């Protein structure tokens, strides 16, 4: 018998023992000890069962055991925090096999954390919930929960971490074609990073903002944005990112010049996923404009 099977059997035995404890509590009108204590014991057994199921990679069973533990804790003298923790642990287990079930459990846990004022913990798990939605391709909900996570981090004074959540939104809204909103987010994040240890990310963000202007396409906006950011952020002014953006802007209606600028950048460092994606979109716009001009002539 494999270790995985042994873990599942142990989990099942612990879950059955925990359920017997719950059944005995509900059948009896009187206990020598506190009912709260008995429910706590059952909750601990369900939690142990869940962990054994996790070892056995039986993630749905693990999630259900955590939910059972949350039900038990709701009958104890514990506050919302312990119950919320069980919901979140359930969500993390469910999500390994079924993100939809995981999302439902995570939402319940987050409701309790926010109601209890545990915003630093809620921020962490709101970000995790956003990532679940992003994995599903539900970008609207992903954006919504990244924004909530950012707000919660800000409430706890973790502004740079909150800005990091907003940064996750940039490619999502840009992919939807909302370039102006993405650029606004970039500027907001740069302002936050300028007073934190993350200021070295500013030059990269300014380059992304300029590329998004070229996707609109808005050469005037790109030019003004570049100059504004260079004046505002010393990290961007004179940087390699500044020079690259300047080359792209100078290309104007010359697709070959645009391609050479990109090739020159790639000769030193590779393009990340974002720059590769949106530089291609900007080039497509440029090629479309060139084709329209040729047809007009």
Q: How confident is the model at residue 227 (pLDDT cuts 50, 70, 90)?
A: very high
Candidates 259, 254, 261, 270; CA nearest to 219 is 254
Q: In 10 A of CB 245, how many CB atoms?
A: 28
What backbone torsions phi and psi does residue 254 show, to the nearest 5 degrees? Answer: -115, 100
Residues 296 and 208 in one domain: yes
**Confidence check: pLDDT of 296 > 60:** no
Residues 64 and 171 in one domain: no
Residue 27 falls inside a structural domain: yes
Residues 179 and 71 in one domain: no
CATH code, 250:
1.25.40.10
Residues 160 and 295 in one domain: yes
Residue 229 falls inside a structural domain: yes
The domain tally of the chain equals 2
Instruction: Give the chain's mean pLDDT.
Output: 93
CA atoms within 13 A on the CB side of 297: 5
Residues 161 and 91 in one domain: no
Q: Residue 159: which domain range? A: 149-297
Residues 168 and 279 in one domain: yes
**Confidence check: pLDDT of 219 > 60:** yes
**Confidence check: pLDDT of 99 > 70:** yes
- Could you report the per-residue pLDDT of 24-73, keeping only the tens digit for each? 987 775 554 568 889 999 999 999 999 999 999 999 999 999 999 999 99
Q: How many whole angstroms separate alpha carbon 195 and alpha carbon 205?
A: 15
Residue 141 falls inside a structural domain: no
Q: Using the structure block, give the residue that is written with the tokens 């359930």.
A: 90
Pick 288 or 159 by higher pLDDT.
159
In three state form, how does the secondary structure of the chain look?
Answer: CCHHHHHHHHHHHHHHHHHHHHHHHHHCCCCCCCHHHHHHHHHHHHHHHHHHHHHCCCHHHHHHHHHHHHHHHCCCCCCHHHHHHHHHHHHHHHCCCCHHHHHHHHHHHHHHHHHCCCHHHHHHHHHHHHHHHHHHCCHHHHHHHHHHHHHHHHHCCCHHHHHHHHHHHHHHHHHCCCHHHHHHHHHHHHHHHCCCHHHHHHHHHHHHHHHHHHHCCCHHHHHHHHHHHHHHCCCCCCCHHHHHHHHHHHHCCCHHHHHHHHHHHHCCCCCCHHHHHHHHHHHHHHHHHHHHHHHHC
- Here the tokens at position 35 are 């009912």
Arithmetic mean of pLDDT, 91-100: 97
**Confidence check: pLDDT of 264 > 70:** yes
Contacts of 217 (CB under 8 A, 6+ apart): 282, 285, 286, 289
**What is the structure's pLDDT at 76?**
86
Contact 211, 279 (CB under 8 A): yes
Residue 42 falls inside a structural domain: yes
- Here the tokens at position 277 are 């994606």
Residue 186 falls inside a structural domain: yes
Arithmetic mean of pLDDT, 102-113: 97
Residues 87 and 196 in one domain: no
- Asked, as a colleague might, if the bond just before 42 is cis with ω within 30 of 0, I would say no
Residue 88 falls inside a structural domain: yes
Residue 130 falls inside a structural domain: no
- Could you report the per-residue pLDDT of 171-189, keeping only the tens digit for each? 999 999 999 999 999 999 9
Candidates 18, 2, 98; CA nearest to 51 is 18
Q: How many whole angstroms separate alpha carbon 227 and alpha carbon 211?
A: 14
Residues 285 and 166 in one domain: yes
Arithmetic mean of pLDDT, 70-93: 92
Residue 102 falls inside a structural domain: no
């Amino acid at each position: 018998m494999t270790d995985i099977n042994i873990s599942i059997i142990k989990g099942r035995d612990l879950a059955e023992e925990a359920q017997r404890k719950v059944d005995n509590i509900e059948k009896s009108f009187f206990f020598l000890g506190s009912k709260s204590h008995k429910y706590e014991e059952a909750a601990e057994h369900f939690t142990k069962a869940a962990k054994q199921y996790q070892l056995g990679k039986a993630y749905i069973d693990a999630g259900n055991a955590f939910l059972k533990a949350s039900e038990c804790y709701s009958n104890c003298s514990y506050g919302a925090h312990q119950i919320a923790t069980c919901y979140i642990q359930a969500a993390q287990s469910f999500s390994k096999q079924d993100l939809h079930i995981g999302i439902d459990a995570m939402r319940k846990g987050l409701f309790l954390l926010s109601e209890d004022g545990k915003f630093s913990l809620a921020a962490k798990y709101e970000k995790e919930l956003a990532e679940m939605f992003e994995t599903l391709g539900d970008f609207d909900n992903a954006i919504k929960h990244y924004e909530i996570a950012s707000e919660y981090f800000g409430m706890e004074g973790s502004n740079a971490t909150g800005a990091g959540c907003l940064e996750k939104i940039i490619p999502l809204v840009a992919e939807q074609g909302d370039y102006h909103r993405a650029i606004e987010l970039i500027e907001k994040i740069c302002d936050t990073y300028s007073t934190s240890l993350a200021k070295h990310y500013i030059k990269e963000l300014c380059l992304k903002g300029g590329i998004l202007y070229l996707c609109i396409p808005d050469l005037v906006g790109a030019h003004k944005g570049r100059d504004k950011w260079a004046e505002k952020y010393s990290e961007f002014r004179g940087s390699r990112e500044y020079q690259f953006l300047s080359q792209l802007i100078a290309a104007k209606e010359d697709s070959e010049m645009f391609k050479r600028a990109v090739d020159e950048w790639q000769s030193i460092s590779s393009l990340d996923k974002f720059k590769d994606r949106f530089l291609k979109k900007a080039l497509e716009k440029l090629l479309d404009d060139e084709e329209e001009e040729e047809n007009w002539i």
